[in-house]
Structure 1
Amino acid sequence: MPTEATFWNDLAPRYAARPVQDPDAFERKIAITQGKMKPADTILEVGCGTGSLALRLADHAARIHGIDISSEMIRIAEGKVEREGVTNLSFEVGPFDERFDTFAPGTVDGILAYSILHLLDDRQAALKRIYGLLKPGGFFVASTVCLGNTWVPYKPMLAVMRWLGKAPKRVDVLATQTLVDDIQAAGFVDVECPDVGADPIVCFTVARKPDSIIDPN
């Protein structure tokens, strides 16, 4: 049976060639994300894909590290970095689960999760992991597809697409409020969803780990 990584590996060349669907909204997300970053920051991007976001942000941090389950996505990302001569980006292949040990707890200044939270097997566990990796006061930025924001019957549609090999095995049909509740439950504060002019099913979220560490459990 094809794995989730296989699905994304097969998709990677088309994904890399596909233009940004909403460039104006994407530029606003970039601007907000850059505004959270400082030149000395260490940034982690979860679900980095082919590295396009990391490359756009490279000049605003000391180091950006991306992780993605797809080896083909990472191969394309590393090729981009080599061609552009960027030296402060690094990537690794793997799932963002309890085995992820590239950074010690409390050592990352900011974590990005663009187009990934709705695809994770355990979103709540991932958010707690993100919270734990951040330094006190560190920031979290996410852009998440929230199919539960509309009346469209996405669950049966996704089942058909999955049967046809056109969708990954895991796509959570969640609403924005569920996502915000999960982020807050992980311990984050100042959770906001700024309007970037994106499609209503896309929720752009910014949040912060408290300056004084709080155990949400």
Structure 2
Amino acid sequence: MTEAAFWDKIAEKYASDPIENLEGYHKTRDMIVDRLKPEHRVLELGCGTGSTALEIAKHVQDYLATDLSPKMIEIANAKRDAETPEHLRFAVADGAGLPDFSPDVVLALNLIHLVPNADAMIQKIFDRLPQGGLFIAKTACLRDGPWYLAVMIPLMRLIGKAPHVSIFSQVELTDRLQKAGFVIDETLLQKGTAPRLFTIARKP
């Protein structure tokens, strides 16, 4: 099963499931908005069903939200209403490849650990951003969680119950960002079975 097919298969359930840590979601959403400017062009990779894009697109000039799952994008477009900014667009695209778009800010929320070659994606994002551009991510750092996750997830993938998941720690993630050339401006660790590190990185 391809990655796109996996996410298409679970899209309806994904859309109906409540946000696991609503307080944490609101906290990081507000941190993102605080860093946005009205003239910014934002590229969101792995937007899922568009919940974050629909909330924050009004704060910027242009917003392109992409996901590799056509079904996720179909659901995102169905959420549009009269208050949705016209400049918010949803599109099917592989986040690892990056669409033809020149952003000031790139968002990858709950995505880096799902990309087979995270280092290549991070480097492409760095190269695409202008000087002073921001890369804002929230990433599961499974090596910092219970030991059994590293065993269970590959087994679930074998039977089609999980997508590709990379196993790394907070320290390893930060090293990857810095190796690509980013400067880390802010971090916030959200604890849980799968700890998630929220990072705001800048291209110097």
**What is the TM-score of this pair, normalised by structure 2?**
0.93
In 2, the alpha carbon distance for the partners of 1:158 and 1:97 equals: 21
- 1:45 deviates by 0.4
- 1:22 deviates by 0.4
Aligned twin of 2:125: 130
Contact kept, 8 Å, 1:52 with 1:77, in 2: the verdict is: yes
In 2, the alpha carbon distance for the partners of 1:172 and 1:80 equals: 31
In 2, the alpha carbon distance for the partners of 1:9 and 1:150 equals: 27
Q: Percent identity?
A: 35
Letter in 2 for 1:56: E
Aligned twin of 1:77: 76
Structure 1 gap segments, 5+ residues each: 211-217
In 2, the alpha carbon distance for the partners of 1:190 and 1:44 equals: 19
Structure 2 gap segments, 5+ residues each: none
Letter in 2 for 1:122: N
1:49 partnered with 2:44 = no
SS at match of 2:100: coil
Aligned twin of 1:108: 103
Aligned twin of 2:182: 188
Contact kept, 8 Å, 1:49 with 1:68, in 2: the verdict is: yes
What's the CA shift string for 1:110-161, capped at 9, x where partnerless?
1100010001011011001111121210111100011100342212211232
- 1:82 deviates by 4.5
Aligned twin of 2:195: 201
Letter in 2 for 1:51: G
Aligned twin of 1:146: 141
Aligned twin of 2:19: 20
- 1:35 deviates by 0.7
Letter in 2 for 1:179: L
- 1:171 deviates by 0.4
What's the CA shift string for 1:165-197, capped at 9, x where partnerless?
2201x10111011100000011101343124x5
Aligned twin of 1:11: 10
Aligned pairs, number? 203
In 2, the alpha carbon distance for the partners of 1:138 and 1:132 equals: 10
Contact kept, 8 Å, 1:184 with 1:191, in 2: the verdict is: no
SS at match of 1:102: coil
- 1:15 deviates by 0.5
In 2, the alpha carbon distance for the partners of 1:59 and 1:29 equals: 17
In 1, the alpha carbon distance for the partners of 2:99 and 2:54 equals: 23
Contact kept, 8 Å, 2:67 with 2:91, in 1: the verdict is: yes
- 1:31 deviates by 0.8
Aligned twin of 1:121: 116
